[in-house]
Amino acid sequence: MCSDVVQTSTAISLSAVEKAFVTPQGVVHALARTDFNVVKGEFVVLLGPSGCGKTTLLRLMAGLERPSQGQVGINGRGLWIGAKRVDETAADLGMVFQDANLFPWFTIEENVSLPLKLRGFPKSERLRRAQQLCQLVGISGFEQRLPRELSGGMRQRASIARALSYEPSILLMDEPFGALDAMTRDAMNLELQRIWLATQKTVVLVTHSIQEAVFLADRVVLLTRRPGRIDEVIDVPFERPRALSVQDEPRFLNLVSHLRSRLDH
Ligand SMILES: Nc1ncnc2c1ncn2[C@@H]1O[C@H](COP(=O)(O)OP(=O)(O)OP(=O)(O)O)[C@@H](O)[C@H]1O
Ligand SMILES: [Mg+2]
C-alpha cells in the first residue's frame, strides 16, 4: 500500500478494487472497479439493489474477501500482501452481521468478551471490559443471561458490544437491524448514533432501508446493479445528534425521494 498517497485522515481506502467470484457455473462479477475512501470518524452507509455487491464490498473492507484486483488499505496500511491477509491491519476492524451470531451456550458476558479470550486477555480484564461494553450498548444487568433470554434488539446490542470489545477503530455492519421490527429498528438507529458519537469510531453500514441510510449517514454511497459500482455519493448534512423527527422534515423527505428514484432506475 502506498501510505504516502493515502491521507492520514483516511480510515479505509479502496484503490481500483474489483471482485469476481469463480464458480462452477462461471465467473460472477460482483464488484466493478471501485475507488473510494472512508474518512476517519465518518459514518458511511452503502445502499443498493439486492445482489448488487454491498456485502461483497463490506467483506472486502473487512479482509474477509481478497480483491481480484486493486488494493484495500486500513488506516494507511495494506490489508493484503499477496494472498496473505495482514492480521495486524485487520485488528482495526470489527464486524457486525445481520444475525447476532452469538454462541447460544455462552452467557452474554462470555459472548461479548470472547474476542478478548481469543487474544489472550486475562479474565479480570475481560470481565471489566465486558461490563463496560454492556453498559455502553444498554444491556447492563443481562451479562449472565443466555442469548435466547434476550430480545432480537438486545442480541444485536450484544453483537455490537462484541465487535467493539478489542477496540477496533472501524466498525463494519451488514444490515445489522434488518431482522428487527420497525419500532425496535428506530430505537437501534438512535442507539447506534449515540454509540458512534460516544466512541468516535468509523462506521460503514449496509442497509436496504433508504430511511435508515439517510438517518444514519454522513455520506450515502449508492451502488448500481451487479456488477456493483458507485453510482452516486450523497452528503447528508443534518446536524448531530439527529432526532427521529428529522425524518418528517422536507429536506429529509427530499433526499429519500431522490434516492428512491435513483434506485428505481
Ligand atoms: N462467495 C460467493 N461465490 C459466488 N458468488 C458470490 C459469492 N458472494 C457473493 N456472490 C455473488 O455476488 C453478487 C453480489 O452479492 P452480495 O452478497 O455482495 O450482494 P448484496 O448487495 O449484499 O445483496 P443483498 O442486498 O441481497 O444482501 C451476487 O450475484 C452473489 O450471488
Ligand atoms: Mg448483502
- Residue 3: predicted pLDDT: 47
User: Would you say 99 and 142 are in contact if contact means Cβ atoms under 8 Å apart?
Assistant: no
- Residue 7: predicted pLDDT: 66
Rounded distance from Cα 28 to ligand 1 centre (Å): 9
Take atom 31 of ligand 1 and give the residue whose Cα is closest: 51
d(CA 220, CA 169): 20
Question: Could you read off the pLDDT of 96-109 as tens digits, one per residue?
Answer: 999 999 999 999 99
- Residue 8: predicted pLDDT: 79
Pocket around ligand 1 at a 6 A CB cut-off? 21, 23, 28, 30, 48, 50-56, 226
Q: Would the pLDDT of 5 be above 60? A: no
- The C-alpha angle with vertex 251 and arms to 249 and 253, in degrees rounded to 5, equals 70
Give 154 or 8, the one with higher predicted confidence.
154
Rounded distance from Cα 199 to ligand 2 centre (Å): 26
- Residue 6: predicted pLDDT: 56
Q: Quick one: cell of 198?
A: 460516544
Q: Taking Cα atoms as reference points, which of 205, 104, 212 lies closest to residue 155? A: 104
- As a whole number, the mean pLDDT across the chain is 95
Q: Residue 256: in which H helix or E strand, if any?
A: helix 250-264
What is the Rg, in whole angstroms, of the alpha carbon atoms belonging to the chain?
A: 18
User: Would you say 92 and 168 are in contact if contact means Cβ atoms under 8 Å apart?
Assistant: yes
